[in-house]
Amino acid sequence: MPSTRDIRRRIKSVKNTAQITKAMEKVASAKMRKAQQAALAGRPYVDLMNGMLAAATASAGEFTHPLMEQRPVKKRAVIVVSTDKGLCGSLNTNLLREAGRFDAESSLFLTAGRKSEQWTARAKRTVAERFTYRDNPKFSEAMAICRKACELFTSGEVDQVDIVFTNFISTLNQKPLVRQLLPIIELKPLSASVKDEESTASVPESKVSEFQFEPTATDVLGSLLPKYVNYQIYQVLLEAKASEHSSRMVAMKNATDNAKQLVKDLTLEYNKIRQANITKELLEITSAAMAMGN
Amino acid sequence: MATLRLEIVTPEARVFSADVENVTLPGVDGQLGIYPMHVPLMTQISCGELVIRQNGATRHLAVGDGFVEITGERVAVLTEMAIDTDHINEAEVEKARKEAEERLKKQLNDEEIAVTEAALAHAITQLEVKRRRSEGV
C-alpha cells in the first residue's frame, strides 16, 4: 500500500502536468481561432477560381497547357503536408497512413513540416525536397512548393503530383485527404465536403457554355493555371494549420480533463488511507488506555 | 433596370457582393466598362482602379492583378487586392511602399522577390488611385 506521502507527491505532479496541458490548450485555442479564420476566408477565392477555370477550360476548345498534359503514370510525386510538432492527437498518424499507401518504389516525396520529414526518413522514402511553413503560412512558402512541383512535372520527371494533407472540417473533425494536383484534369473544389450555404447561394454556377477570351484563351488560361496550382497549395497549407491547431486544442483539453480525473481519484485514495491511519491510531490509543485501566 | 451581380473576392475575404448598375474594370488592354447583358467573357485585369456604380452612387476600389469572369448577369472578379479608396490610409501605404522598396534591395530568394514586388505594386496602385480620387479627377 502506498504511503500518504507517495500519493501526495503524485497528486502534485499530476496537477503540474494538468497546468501545463491547460496552458497549451489555451495557446492552441488562440492560434486555432486565427488559423480557422484564415482557412475559411481563403475558401471563397479558391472556390471561385475553381469555377472560373472549369468554365474557361470547357469553352477554350483545343487548349492545352504543359500543366494539363496527361501521361501514363510511371512515376509520381507526393507532397505531404504535416505538422512540425506533435501533441496533436491522431492527426499525423492518420495523415501519414494515407501517405504510406503510395508505392515506395515509384513515388517521390516532397515534405512540408517536420513530422513528414521524419516519416520519410523512418519509412525510407525518396525525398525530392523538404519545405517548411510557418504558423501563419506565407504565400511565398506555397510558391516554393508549387515551383518545385511544377518543375518536376513539366520536366517529365514525374507524371502526376498528388498532395496529402489534413482537411479542416470542424474543430472536432479533421480528415486526411489525398488530392491530385497535377495534371489539372478534374476541377473539384478543395473543400467539397464542407459547402457553406452562403458561398453556394451568392455565387451561382455560371451556365454559359461559350466564353470569349480577352486577349486570348492561351493568355488567360496560361496565367490562370499556374496561379490556380499556387493558390491550391496555399489553401492546403491554411487548412493543414487550422486542422493542426484544432486537433491540438482538443487533445490538450482531453489531457487536462484526464489529469483532473486522476487527481480526483488520487485524492479519494489519499483520504481513504489518511482515514484508515487515524482509525488505526485511535484504536491503538484506546486499546492502550484500556490496558492501562485494568 | 437590369442589374449586374458583382462579386469581388480576394484571398483574404469576399470584399463585395451585391447588385450594381455597371462596373468599370482595369483590363490588361485598357479600361473595360461592363453593363448588364454583356457577352460572356473571360479576361484578365491588371493593377488599377475599379469603379462600381450602384443605385446612382459611385465607389472606387484599388485592385491588384486578377481575373474576371463575365456573364450577362454576373461579374466575378478574382483579385489579390481590393480596397475601397475611402479606406486607404495614404501614410500607411507610403510606409509599406518604402518597406517593400527597402526589402527589394536586400538579398532575397525568388519567392520573396515575387511577393515583395507584388506588395510594392499594390502599394503603388493604392497611392495612385487614392491621389487621383483626392484630386477629384
CATH number of the domain encompassing residue A277: 1.10.287.80
Q: Picking from A3-17, A118-132, B99-113, which range would have the lowest pLDDT averaged per residue? A: B99-113
Q: B129 to chain A nearest CA, in Å? A: 24
Q: What spatial distance separates the first Cα and last Cα of chain A, rounded to whole Å?
A: 35
Is the pLDDT at A200 greater than 60? The verdict is no
Q: Does residue A210 sit at the B interface (CB-CB below 8 Å)? A: yes
Question: Model confidence over B41-100: pLDDT tens digits?
Answer: 889 998 888 999 988 888 988 898 889 989 888 899 999 888 888 888 888 888 888 888
CB-based contact A206 B69, cutoff 8 Å: yes
Domain assignment present for residue A80? The answer is yes
Residue from A211, A224, A227 to probe the interface with B (highest B Cβ count within 10 Å): A211
Domain assignment present for residue A12? The answer is yes
Domain assignment present for residue A32? The answer is no
Q: Are residues A57 and A188 in the same domain?
A: yes
A18, A67, A81, A88: which one is catalytic? A88
Is the pLDDT at A173 greater than 50? The verdict is yes
Nearest residue on chain B to A42, alpha-carbon basis: B11
Q: Are residues A190 and A256 in the same domain?
A: no
- CA dist A77 → A112, A127, A130, B49 (Å): 13, 9, 13, 41
- In whole angstroms, give the CA distance from residue A231 to residue A137: 12
Domain assignment present for residue A73? The answer is yes
Rg (CA), chain A: 28
- A88 a catalytic residue: yes
Q: Does residue B53 sit at the A interface (CB-CB below 8 Å)? A: no
Cβ neighbours of residue A148 under 8 Å, at least 6 residues apart? A110, A128, A129, A131
Q: Are residues A70 and A179 in the same domain?
A: yes
- In whole angstroms, give the CA distance from residue A39 to residue A148: 23
> Residue B12: its chain A contacts at CB < 8 A?
41-42
Domain assignment present for residue A160? The answer is yes
Number of structural domains (chain A) is: 2
Give the pairing of strands A173-182 and A160-170. antiparallel
CB-based contact B40 A208, cutoff 8 Å: yes
Q: Does residue B35 sit at the A interface (CB-CB below 8 Å)? A: no
Q: Does residue B18 sit at the A interface (CB-CB below 8 Å)? A: no
pLDDT at residue A238, rounded to an integer: 92
Domain assignment present for residue A33? The answer is no
Q: Are residues A222 and A76 in the same domain?
A: yes
Q: Are residues A81 and A185 in the same domain?
A: yes
Q: Does residue B19 sit at the A interface (CB-CB below 8 Å)? A: no
Give the pairing of strands B74-79 and B82-84. unpaired
Q: Are residues A54 and A173 in the same domain?
A: yes
CB-based contact A220 B14, cutoff 8 Å: no
Is this complex's ipTM strictly greater than 0.90? no
From A56, A138, A214, residue closest to B27, measured CB to CB:
A214
From A49, A208, A215, residue closest to B28, measured CB to CB:
A215
Fold of B4-85: ATP Synthase; domain 1 (2.60.15)
**What is the percent of chain B where pLDDT is above 90?**
17
Q: Does residue A206 sit at the B interface (CB-CB below 8 Å)? A: yes
Please give the backbone phi and psi of residue B26, each rounded to the nearest 5 degrees, phi first.
-85, 80
Q: Are residues A192 and A216 in the same domain?
A: yes
CB-based contact B11 A143, cutoff 8 Å: no
The grid coordinates listed for A124 are 525510407
Q: Could you tell me the residue range of the domain that residue A18 belongs to?
A: 4-25+250-293
- CA dist B9 → A5, A168, B14, B52, B60 (Å): 64, 21, 4, 15, 16
- DSSP designation for A206: P
Q: How confident is the model at residue A207 (pLDDT cuts 50, 70, 90)?
A: low
Domain assignment present for residue A35? The answer is no
Fold of B89-134: 1.20.5
In chain B, where does the domain assigned CATH 1.20.5 lie? 89-134
Cβ neighbours of residue B72 under 8 Å, at least 6 residues apart? A208, B36, B37, B38, B39, B40
Domain assignment present for residue A34? The answer is no
- CA dist A238 → A264, B120, B125 (Å): 39, 24, 28
Chain length of chain B: 137
Its pTM stands at 0.84
**What is the percent of chain B where pLDDT is above 70?**
98
Q: Are residues A179 and A46 in the same domain?
A: yes
